[in-house]
Every structure is written in structure tokens, then in C-alpha cells.
Amino acid sequence: MKVDLYNQLMRAGRLGRRDVLKGMASTGALAAFSGVATGISARPVWAADNASLRAQILKIPGVGAGSPTDADWQKVGELCLGPVKEVVQEGEFAGVELTFMGLNNQNLHNFLFRGFLKPWEAYTGAKINWIDLAQADYNARLQQSIATQTVDFDIIEMGAPFEGDVTGRGLASVMPDWVKSIIDMDDYVGYLKAPVGTWDGKTYRVSIDGDCHTFAYRTDYYDNEEFAKAWAEEGDGTPWEPPTTWQMVQKHTKFLAGKKDPLTGLDAHGYLDPLKGWGGFGFYFLESRATAYAKHPDDPAWLFDPEDMKPRVNNAAFVRAIQDVMDVMSTQPPDQINADPGTTAFQQFLAGTGSMISWWGDVGSNARTSDSSVVGDVVGFRHLPGSDDVWNHRKGEWETLASGPNEAPNMAYIGWGVYVMARVDSDSKKQKAAWSAAAHLGGKDLSLWTSAYPSGFQPYRNSHFNYGEWEEAGYDRAFVEDYLGSNADSYNHPNAAIEPRIPGIFQYYSVAEDELAKGFAGQYGSAQETADAIAKAWEEITDQIGRERQVELYKASLGL
Amino acid sequence: MSKEGDLLHVVTFDDMTPMRLRLGKLLIWGSAAVMALTFAALALAEAGYIGLEFENWRPALYGFLFWSVCLCIAQVVLHGEQGKRTLFVLPAALFVVAMVIFPLVFALGIAFSDWNLSSPTGRQFNGFDNVRQMWGDPFYWNALKNMAYYTLAILVEYAVAFGLALLLASDIKARKFFRVAFLMPLMLSPVAVSWMVGKSMMEIRFGPLARLARWLGWERPSFFGDPEVARAMIMMMDAWTFIPFMMIMILAGLQAIPRELQEAARVDGASAWRGFWEITFPLMLPVSITAILIRIIFKLKLADIIINVTSGGPGGATDSVTSFIFREYRDRSNVGYGTLLAIVYLVLIVVAITTFMKLVDRWMNPRY
């Protein structure tokens, strides 16, 4: 769980230790009862075989009992060693040294891994050396290691977008079958299952996190009677309620221009578009506007043509998304052209400017915990809006689906995973050691703990979304259902838009940001011209990296 | 060493025996051969012509260090006392070769290569393709144009710095306090300035500067929405940080001017303006030129404030060459092209600064 989410839940739930222990006891009892009364086949997935263990680790240190420490991480690591012990003998890896490269964000990530793996080291006899990186240094360090053939780590914590750079070059070790059985991959949420984590049918990734964009909106705007009355007069006849399609988002955004924010009394604004680049991450926000237009349910591809890597970023769907942004630029706060996604979420939306944004989980968690947030009690969540029609790229026409609006939640960044490098493959003992460490970190029971306590990771298994379990543990049910529910709906959506895991994907995003900035500043004649400029720059990157190989890897990443 | 001529600084006379000379030459050429062999072995192993396996290029460094040490020893062996004198300079020269010249030559090799870190083919020599790409790259030319604007702003900064220096050189109250206070922005990191001023004080809703602007009648203040305004804001933030630097240099110059000159002018009936324009300003020219020159060099590196505040926007209006190279190199891993842009920028800077210094030299020391 992200730190802020944890704090938010604590504040929202006003938990006391006694409540928590009561909750834990109930959870254990409920789990035990479910198992006995309904039989294995009918048991909820989360209860699994380790209900008592799960209840036990959730008591470390106890929800609401302060931030976990290294001692707690070690305890959790020790308790969750069971699956490793089934396949590894005590002292089996004596003399083996492994190097683990990961992040040190917020004193989490590697710091937790150290604690979790300490009991593993003690049991197996292996030793782990650590390379801690700041987020900003991560990409450069990884790319340079790859390009200069100086991969000096055996295990890496890595985001799925980099899979093309690593697994696509054969630098990663293929996951052995015994690891698959330990980590229970069937429990992963829909989009984290293959092809994510796989290349050419081989599995490489132990997931430890999930990521996607969801839609956050201000509930007070939609509870406001004045707005409702004005919408009845000025609107299109639809009820005044949170928009479910981008067409409605556009209408609401235009409608709100010139009105006053019910909370702050300042100018009201609709959807906030971050118009400034953010080291490549800013492009995810155009994607979130475009996926409902561009991701057809019958076509796994939406950003490039899998046959030849021709960009789709200048097709009608993306041009419409760019045009949407341009159409509402005049309704945005002043200086919006200089607002990056961070500004949009934390300095604007949470501070009471604007009524709708797309963002990862942090906005939900910061809403009530951040000192600068004023929207804690008036924020709602759902998966990204859909579209009345969807662009069929192959047919070259807009289609209206019989099933209703097309929805395609953007799985922006996909989430962190643990990967083992191929350099351990030449030493079977080292290889087994590395994979058992990765399996330990991605274990099902341990992941319950990381989803419930500050860890830097989001829930990513179906077993993490059992709201009853959260409630029994003492969390606020309404918030969990709303906030985590929006994530769960996105993760398991059958038409989720998953980004291409090809080499250099952030290069494409970065150059797109530069061209979009020019387009938004009026330096191109139209949305189409802006999109064409992006497409041209993408073609150059593809040619530079190598088109044939990119095609091959793109197809592999799509599972084609 | 010669036993004739000026012998004032001669400590000892060295007898250079043929054996000693041979040993010296052997040291130089022998170690050079070892270094060359190391390089060749590494290159051949890299190309797959020989079966040796090297983990990295560190043996080449050891080869260079071995040759350097032998070269230094050989100076004494070959030239005796004179060689010892050479040793005062030679290690530093070898260090510069290793740390400046070699990387520069290596960078030239990269600059003429197609090297995207994500490309599986690695570095490929591509002749002048990067130059051609640069020629047609509107982002680079736009950044260069912005650099011209940013550099021209130094004239304004200089005028302000001169005024402040004059003020601090005169007999004002709390002069010492103001001298320290005016220096404080220079002590701040540009990154801190970006966040404190660009991101906080200029925040359009709650920032104090935005509030002031609204109070002054600017209904919807926007500091970075318009290209010209955004560029001016970047210039002002950068100027705020570095004007104290010019000011302190000029102040030091002002204090070095003898007071008698101004007093004599006043006795002759010169007004305050004529006293400044015809005495102080000309006498301050050498200091001013130095201050401007150093400021130009600082300015050409301008990147941190831009990266933090505008990312080069809106639409590239505030982009500097360095911030563009940062995006090209770091965000897009385009090492070859990014290096070429940096090399071209270096050449432009060297040419521009040299021309500037020549012009100033001609202006200040006219040859009739």
C-alpha cells in the first residue's frame, strides 16, 4: 500500500488498536468458518490455505499501530518463508552472493526487501548485496548497464514498460515452473496475467504491484443544486451526475466554465489536462483521454500497428483526444500550459481547483491525508470514462458498439515486478537462489501484507480486493469500495489498454510530450498536424532502434 | 646539461652515460609498447579476433598509468636535473590528457555515431547523419535562439549589477548588512530558486506574486502561459540568482579605484554623471568585461531553472540548449545525437567567446 493511502485510511477509519484486534479476530474466524462450512471449492480465494497465517501477519505491527519497522518486515518475511522452505533446503545456498538492484523511494522498496529477505538469507545461507537507486536515476542506470553490457545485478525491481529493454534482449532469466506454483499467478488481477510479464510465451516477471489510471471527481459538484438546475437549463437533457463518457466530460467541462467552485468560491473548472511534459510520464494523460476512442475490443493494439510499428497516434481516435484537450484549454485555470501532471493533481485538484482528473492511486490516498488537500470529503472515484463510439483502426471508421459505450481503462505503467537476470543461468545454484528470493518477495501471503501496510505497492491480486477482509480488519468500507473498487474494475476490465512493453517506450512518450507542448502552444495548425508531428518523431525513433526488431518485440509483448 | 651559459639555477651537472640514455629510451618505448599491446589486445578481444576475455576496459587504464609513470621516470633518467623540472608539469599534463583530451576525443567518436541505448545494435558510426539531423531539428535551433535572448539579457543584468555596486560602494546606512543581503540569492541553488520562486511564489492561485498581481489589477495572472512572459520570468529568476555575482565583482573593482581621481574631477567642475561616465566606467571596463565573460559562461549552462519550472515550455519558448540536450540524452537515451549537440554547442561557445575577447581586446587596446 502507498504510504499516503495507509495514512488516509487510518484517518478516515479512526482506528484504535482494540478495533483492529477485534477486526483481526473476526477475519480469522470468518476465514476459518468459510473454510469449514463451505468447503474448499467454495472458499473465497483470499482465505486460501493460510487464513491463520494471513491473519497473523496482518497483526504486524497492527493496523493503526504506527509505521512498520525493519523488525516488522523481518517478522513478516520469516512467517511467509513457508513456500520457499518447501523447495529449498536449509543452508542450500551457502556461499552464494546475489546483487539486487531496486529503488529507495520514500525509504520503502529496497528497504522492505532487505527486511523480508533477511530471514531468507539466514535460512538459505545466501547473501544479498544491494544497489539502491533514486527513481530519477533508475532509467538511466538501467539503460546504461544494458547498453554498455555491464549488467552488474542478478535480481532487479523493474516496471513492466522496461520489459522490452530487458527481456526483449534476452537479459532476463525464464521463470522456472516451481516458482509459478509458489506465487499463485492465477490470483493476479486480469491485466497482470499473460502477456504482461511474458515474452514469446515465456514468463519472466514476479508481480509485486499494480498500476493504472482511474478517474477522480468532485462529488460536491454533482451534489450541487445550483449546478443541477443550470445543467437542466443549459445541458443536453441528461441528468447532472458524474460523467461516464469523455463526451460527457467535455460537455460538463464547458458547462462549468464561468461558474464558481462550491467549495472554494473561486472559478469552477471541469476536467484538468496536464499540458506540460513530465519526463515522458505526461503522455499517459493523453493516453487516458484516448484509450476509450482508440482501444477497440477486437484489437489488442492501440498505439502502434503490430505489423509494421506504424504509429496510431495520428489516427482519428488520438486526434480526437488531442482536439478534446484543445477544445477545453480556454476553460482551464490560467497557466495550465505550464501545469505538469504533478501540479494538476497535487497543487490543483487536491487544493480545490478543478473537478475531474485522471491519476494513479495517490490522489485518492492524498485526498484526506495531505495537508494541502481540501477535497477529502468530496472526492469520488471510478474507472476511466468510456466513449459513445470507438475507432476501428483496421476498418478506418468510427463504430458504435451494441454493448454500449466503449471503455478501455489505461493501465498506465502496469506496476513493479521482480525479475531475475539471465547472467545467473550459468550457475544452477545461483539461479535457484535468485528465483527463490524473487518468489519470496512476490509470495501471495507476503503480498497481502504489502497491500495493507505502507510499502509503495498497490494491491494487485484478486485476493487483495476482498472488501470484507478490509472491513473486518477495521478499514472504512465505503472508502475502500469506492477507491479500491475503481482500481479493481480497471485491472479486471476485459478491454484494458496495456501499453506496449517495447524497448525505448519512454523515448516515444518523451518526444510526444515535446510535440504536444508545441501543439498546445498553437505552433501547429491543428490537432491533426500535432499528431502527425508525433507520428513522424515516433517513426524516426523506431527506425533508429530498429524497426524489424521492434515489430517482433511488440508482437511478443501483445502475445501475438 | 650544458656546462656553459647561464649557470645560476644549475644545481648539479648530470653525466648522461650512453647506458643511461638507452635505459631512458627503453623505459619510454617499452612502456609505450606495453600500453599499445594492452589496447590492441582489448580491441582484438572485443572484435572477437582473439580468445581472451576481458571483463571491462580497466586494463587499458592500467596500461596508460604504467606508461605515464615510466614516462615521468624516463625524464629524470634521460635529462637529469632538467627532467626533474619537467616532473613539476608532466603529471598534471598527463592527467589533463586523461581526463579532458581523451574524453573529448572519445566524445567526438560518439558524436558521429548512431547510438540509442535502446537499440540492440549498439553504437554505429553514421558519419554526418547527426549533423544533418541537427540542421533540420527545429527544437535545437529554437533553443539556440532562446540562448541568444538569454545571453542578451546579461546587458540588463550588468546595468543593474553596476547600479547596485555603486549603491553599495557609496556611504549608505547599513552598508555591510545590504552587502550580505544582496549576496544571498547567489548562495541559493538554482533548483531551490525554481521551487521557491517559480513554483511557489508564482503559483497562480495562492502564490504571493500572483496575489500581488491581482491586487495590482491583473485579473488572471499567468507567469508562464505566454511565451514572451515565460521567457522573461526565467530570465528574471536567473538574473536574481546571478546579479549578485556580477555586483560583487564590480564592487571589488570600484573599491580599487583611487578616490583622488573623482576628487580631482570634481575640483575641475565635472558633474556626477561625467565623473561616472568618463572616469569610473572606463576604469571599470577590464573588471566589467571579466564579469560579463564569466556571466556568459554561467548563462550558457542555464538549464536547472528551466527543467524544473517550465520543462522548456510553453511550446519551447523557454528551452535552453542544455535543457534540450538533457531531454534528448536522458529521457530519450539518444546518446550519439545528444553528444553531437553538446559538441557543436561547445564549438559555438569557444568561437563566440574567443571572438568576443578579441573584439574587446581591440576595443580596449586600439592599435593606431
Sequential DSSP letters for A377-408 = GGEEEESPPBBSSEEETTTTEEE--TTSSB--
Q: How far is CA A541 from the centre of its chain?
A: 26
Count A/B contacts: CB-CB distance under 8 Å: 120
Of B121, B331, B334, the CB nearest to A546: B121
Give the DSSP letter string of A508-554.
HHHHHHHHHHHHHTT-SSSHHHHHHHHHHHHHHHHHHH-HHHHHHHH
Q: How far is CA B81 from the centre of its chain?
A: 38
Instruction: Give residue A22's region: left, alpha or beta (phi > 0; psi -120 to 50).
Output: alpha
Closest Cα in chain A, distance from residue B203 (Å): 9
Quick one: pLDDT at residue A129?
Answer: 96
Cβ within 8 Å, pair B313-A336:
no
Cell of A132: 539502491
pLDDT band at A33 (very low <50, low <70, confident <90, very high): very low
pLDDT band at A376 (very low <50, low <70, confident <90, very high): confident
Q: B114 forms bridges with which residues in the sheet? A: B124
Cβ within 8 Å, pair B314-A514:
no
- Residue A84 Cα distances to A61, A95, A427, angstroms: 23, 18, 19
Helices marked H in A277-417 — which ranges? 283-294, 316-327, 341-342, 362-369
Residues on chain A touching B120 (C-beta within 8 angstroms): 169, 503, 545-546, 549
Under DSSP, the state recorded for B211 is: H
Quick one: pLDDT at residue A31?
Answer: 37
Three-state secondary structure call for residue B261 = helix
Residue A228 near residue A237, CB atoms below 8 Å: no
Cell of A502: 517495447
Could you give the CA distance from residue A470 to residue A462 in angstroms, rounded to a whole number?
A: 13
Could you give the CA distance from residue B309 to residue A230 in angstroms, rounded to a whole number?
A: 38
Under DSSP, the state recorded for A274 is: P
Residue A307 near residue A296, CB atoms below 8 Å: no
Cell of B270: 565635472
Comparison of pLDDT for A40 and A219, the residue scoring more: A219
Cβ within 8 Å, pair A545-B119:
yes
pLDDT (average), residues B210-231: 91
The helix (H) or strand (E) run that includes residue A52 is: helix A51-57
Cell of B139: 527544437
Cell of B325: 540536450
Quick one: pLDDT at residue A47?
Answer: 40
Cβ within 8 Å, pair B225-A336:
yes
Residue range A353-368, pLDDT digits in tens: 999 999 987 676 667 6
Could you give the CA distance from residue A101 to residue A132 in angstroms, rounded to a whole number?
A: 6
Regarding pTM above 0.90, the answer is: no
Q: Which of B331, B335, B339, B340 has the highest number of chain A CBs within 10 A, making it the mutation to test binding with A?
A: B331
- Residue B230 Cα distances to A326, B226, B235, B303, B311, angstroms: 20, 6, 9, 15, 11
pLDDT (average), residues A108-120: 94
Three-state secondary structure call for residue A89 = coil
Interface of B with A (CB under 8 A): 56, 114-122, 139, 203-206, 220-225, 227, 230, 309-317, 327, 330-335
- Residue A92 Cα distances to A95, A148, A428, A439, A525, angstroms: 9, 33, 12, 16, 66
Question: Nearest CA to A151 among A207, A93, A99, A105?
Answer: A99
Residue range A222-275, pLDDT digits in tens: 999 999 999 999 999 999 999 999 999 999 999 999 999 999 999 999 999 999
Comparison of pLDDT for A475 and A369, the residue scoring more: A475
Residue range B169-187, pLDDT digits in tens: 988 888 889 889 999 999 9
Q: How far is CA A21 from the centre of its chain?
A: 31
pLDDT (average), residues A19-27: 41
- Residue A288 Cα distances to B90, B146, B179, angstroms: 61, 33, 53
Cβ within 8 Å, pair B204-A334:
yes
Residue B242 near residue B151, CB atoms below 8 Å: no
| Burial of B217 (C-beta count, 10 Å sphere; 0-12/13-18/19+) | exposed
Question: Nearest CA to A270 among A207, A203, A356?
Answer: A356
Indicate the average pLDDT of chain B. 90
Three-state secondary structure call for residue A131 = strand
Could you give the CA distance from residue B346 to residue B350 in angstroms, rounded to a whole number?
A: 6
Cβ within 8 Å, pair B222-A504:
no
Could you give the CA distance from residue B117 to residue A146 in angstroms, rounded to a whole number?
A: 8
**Can you tell me which residue has the cell 488481477?**
A189
Quick one: pLDDT at residue A458?
Answer: 83
Closest Cα in chain A, distance from residue B324 (Å): 10
Q: Which of B233, B327, B330, B333 has the highest number of chain A CBs within 10 A, making it the mutation to test binding with A?
A: B333
pLDDT (average), residues A4-18: 51
Could you give the CA distance from residue B146 to residue B54 in angstroms, rounded to a whole number?
A: 46
Give counts: helices (H), strands (E), chain B: 17, 2
Residue range A286-336, pLDDT digits in tens: 999 999 999 999 999 999 999 999 999 999 999 999 999 999 999 999 889
Cell of A161: 514498460
Comparison of pLDDT for B15 and B271, the residue scoring more: B271
Residue A219 near residue A380, CB atoms below 8 Å: yes
Give counts: helices (H), strands (E), chain A: 23, 12
Of A277, A334, A340, the CB nearest to B222: A334
Strands A127-133 and A97-103: parallel
pLDDT band at B129 (very low <50, low <70, confident <90, very high): very high
Residue range A495-526, pLDDT digits in tens: 999 888 888 898 999 999 999 999 999 999 99
Strands A416-420 and A206-207: antiparallel
Q: State the complex-level ipTM.
A: 0.83
Domains plus CATH for chain A? 3-211+415-491 (3.40.190.10), 225-261+263-411+498-558 (3.40.190.10)
Residue A21 has pLDDT above 60, yes or no: no
Under DSSP, the state recorded for A272 is: P
Nearest-by-CA chain A residue for B330: A140
Q: How far is CA A341 from the centre of its chain?
A: 15
Cβ within 8 Å, pair B224-A337:
yes
Quick one: pLDDT at residue A448?
Answer: 85
Quick one: pLDDT at residue A1?
Answer: 61
HSE, side-chain direction, 13 A CA sphere, residue B165: 27
- Residue A119 Cα distances to A85, A87, A126, A128, B104, angstroms: 11, 16, 10, 12, 49
Residue B37's φ and ψ, nearest 5 degrees, are -65, -40
The helix (H) or strand (E) run that includes residue B367 is: none
Q: How far is CA A300 from the centre of its chain?
A: 19
pLDDT (average), residues A14-43: 37
Buried b (16+ CB within 10 A) or exposed e, A58-68: bbbbbbbbeeb
Residue B116's φ and ψ, nearest 5 degrees, are -100, 125
CA dihedral A494, A497, A501, A507 (to 10 degrees): 180
pLDDT band at B215 (very low <50, low <70, confident <90, very high): very high
Residue A177 has pLDDT above 80, yes or no: yes
Residue A19 has pLDDT above 50, yes or no: no
**Secondary structure string (H, E, C) spanning A422-444:** HHHCCCHHHHHHHHHHHHHHCCH
pLDDT (average), residues B329-333: 86
**Can you tell me which residue has the cell 482506528?**
A15
Task: Kindly give, in sequence order, each residue whose CB lies less than 8 Å from that of residue A255, ignoring residues fewer than 6 positions away.
Answer: A230, A231, A234, A235, A270
Residue range B44-98, pLDDT digits in tens: 988 888 888 787 788 999 999 999 999 999 999 999 888 999 999 999 999 999 9
Quick one: pLDDT at residue A55?
Answer: 80
